[in-house]
Amino acid sequence: MAAVLYGNYILISRPRYDERLRVWFPYASTSWDGDKFHYHQLKDFEKSFQTEEEALAFGFVAARNWIDEHKSD
């Protein structure tokens, strides 16, 4: 698990290993504080990876993309 700041947003990426399939699945979340605390999960990706590092990086990219698409909402 790793966390980074992206502007005013906290991104957390924590890949999960599937022992049966022997692959890593990305999982990410983002939170921010505006007029109240907000939290959004990004999960159930159809993409899997052979390494934890690849899944970790993908989680951060997906979270940054989600923020860039929704931050004006």
**Using one digit for the tens of pLDDT, what is the confidence trace for 17-57?**
999 999 999 999 999 997 889 999 998 888 999 999 999 99
Give the separation between CA 49 and CA 5, rounded to whole angstroms. Answer: 24
- Ordered DSSP codes for 6-68: ETTEEEEE--EEETTTTEEE--EEEEEESSSEEEEEE---S--BSSHHHHHHHHHHHHHHHHH
Output the CATH code of domain 2-70: 3.30.160
Residue 45: predicted pLDDT: 86
Residue 12: predicted pLDDT: 97
Give the separation between CA 2 and CA 21, rounded to whole angstroms. Answer: 23
For the chain, state the CA radius of gyration: 13
